[in-house]
Structure 1
Amino acid sequence: MTQMQTDPSKSPEQVKPDATDNLLYIVLKYKNALIALVVLLAAAGGGTAFWLNHQKAAEQEASLKLSVVAPLLDRGEFRKAIDGTSANPGLKSISGKYGGTASGKMSSLLLANAYYALGQPDSALAVYKGISMENRDLAAAVLAGTGACHAEMKQYAKAAAAYGDASEKAENKALKAQYLVSSADNYLDSGKREKALELYKKIVADYPGSTGAALSQRALWQMSGSR
């Protein structure tokens, strides 16, 4: 989904990852593309036609149920989005029942985001670890989500590694830079100043003109004591 919202006025020590904004953007950006892929496969025919038709029907059901939950997320009603209501299932139910569909996977990603937004990084992490995405930017978003959870739990070394993996996995250059910034921030928080310094310099050199480069340059100025 994508970019993390980062305040340039804050130091790297102050900036904390916001998985909710970042991953939700990725989810919304790629949802239609993934659903289209399911439909395309369903049209392939052959010996798998019955299974594909079943998957298409399941995807349509999951997508419809997910569309009912989406407004709850927009309003910040994360607990209701997770558990659902007497009339409509929540993300936990949709994820469990339709996990093999595109919308089911999206439900899992949104479920993890909702747990994170509620301040439950341990629950969010458990969901993130069970998500598998073919799309590289979506897969990177999942890795970034695990990084955000580790950071929230003050496991900065693990967070740094997860964000580094997310940067390698992502195809979008802006995402690559942003995830590397988060990796460097967490290396700094873990006490690995030289590693953080190395990454900030790499971001400035490899992604000129990006938000990540601007944040990295600010971090380098702050680390050197200059402005």
Structure 2
Amino acid sequence: MAEVTNKANPSHDTTKPAKSEFDLQESMDRAEDFYKKNQNVILGAIAAVVILVGGYFAYGNFVSKPKEQKAQAMIFHAQEYFAKDSFKLALNGDGNNYGFLQVIEKYDGTKAGNLAHYGAGVSYIRLGDYQNGINQLKDFSANDDVLQPLALGITGDAYMELNKVDDAIAAYKKAAHSSDNALTSPIYLLRAGLALEKAGKNQDAIELYKEIKSKYPQTNEGREMDKYLARIGEVKE
């Protein structure tokens, strides 16, 4: 593919959503930082295809593998724009190189195509197009202890921006419990609790705050739980 010749500065999109009380920016930054540091690992780990018998072996070598290689070549420049926060170009390409949407159109079903759903979803949300972001993230899946919870959690953030609080709560809970780890679980349990408070369901929020305090006491969220519990009337024992 040709080198990027776009005269506009690709690293600065002017359209970004306002920061919400649930700190959407922080959540997106966590997702992007993880993605940038682990691109090669993610590409190798997502949606791995198990070859069962000889016929599938031939398909893998002569059809599937070349298709995957082409898809990974296509996604390269979209990933570069994504890393520079140039989300419009990451989505749509620059006229010379493809964006995530073109990768999805041509190579959906490949590992790179699956990853393009994640990149497209995050890009849409960073541009303030929350529903399209949600739709793309729903089409992404990963057997991963961090990236999958992040995708679910970002979906929750987008629902909050759309004021779909019940959907956000469901997404946050799913993100928190899809992988039991101290990096993402307490973050999304807390977000679920805050959303429950907003919905007037304080008792449900208390249960999640106690879960954070019990399971993740050494995390930043765990150390703050007495404050959150006291705020809604649950006295420290």
Matches for 1:66-77 after TM superposition, within 5 Å: 66-77=75-86
The count of aligned residue pairs is 214
Identify which of 183, 186, 209 aligns with 1:174.
Answer: 183
Q: Structure 1: any 5+ residue segments left out of the alignment?
A: 1-12
The one of 100, 103, 109 aligned to 1:94: 103
2-side partners of 1:131 and 1:37: how far apart? Answer: 13
| Gap regions ≥5 residues in structure 2 | 1-19
CA offsets 1:191-223 (integer angstroms, 9 cap, x no match): 212211221121011111112213434423444
Give 1:21's aligned amino acid: D
| Max Rg structure | 2
Give the aligned CA root-mean-square deviation in angstroms.
2.9
CA offsets per residue over residues 51-95 of structure 1, 9 Å max, x none?
Answer: 222322222222222221223223221111111121001111112
- TM-score under structure 2 length normalisation: 0.78
Q: Is the 8 A contact 2:77 2:90 kept in 1?
A: no
- Note closer, same or farther for the CA distance 1:99–1:28 as it changes in structure 2 (3 Å cut): farther
Pick from 150, 158, 173: which aligns with 2:167? 158
2:55 corresponding residue in structure 1: 47
Q: 1:157-203, CA deviations, whole angstroms, 9 ceiling, x for partnerless residues? A: 21111110111112433211111111111111212122112211210
Q: Equivalents in 1 of 2:134, 2:51: separation in Å?
A: 36
Give the Cα separation in 1 of the matches to 2:151 and 2:64.
23
Is the CA contact 2:145–2:181 (under 8 Å) kept in the aligned structure 1?
Answer: no
Deviation of 1:131 (Å) = 2.2
Cα separation, partners in 2 of 1:111 and 1:37, compared to 1, 3 Å: closer
2:158 is matched with which residue: 130, 136, 149?
A: 149
Higher helix share: 1
Task: Report if the CA contact (8 A) 1:181-1:215 is conserved.
Answer: no
1:15 matches 2:22: yes
Residues 1:138 and 1:75: Cα distance change in structure 2 (over 3 Å):
closer
Structure 2 CA distance for partners of 1:217 and 1:103, relative to 1, 3 Å: farther
Percent identical across equivalent pairs?
23
* Alignment partners' CA distance in 2, 1:122 and 1:172: 28
Matched, 1:219 2:228: yes
1:207 paired residue number: 216
Structure 2 distance, partners of 1:196, 1:181, is 8
**Which residue number in structure 2 is paired with residue 106 of structure 1?**
115
- CA separation in 2, counterparts of 1:77 and 1:147? 23
The one-letter amino acid paired with 2:214 is: A
Q: 1:126 matched to which residue of 2? A: 135
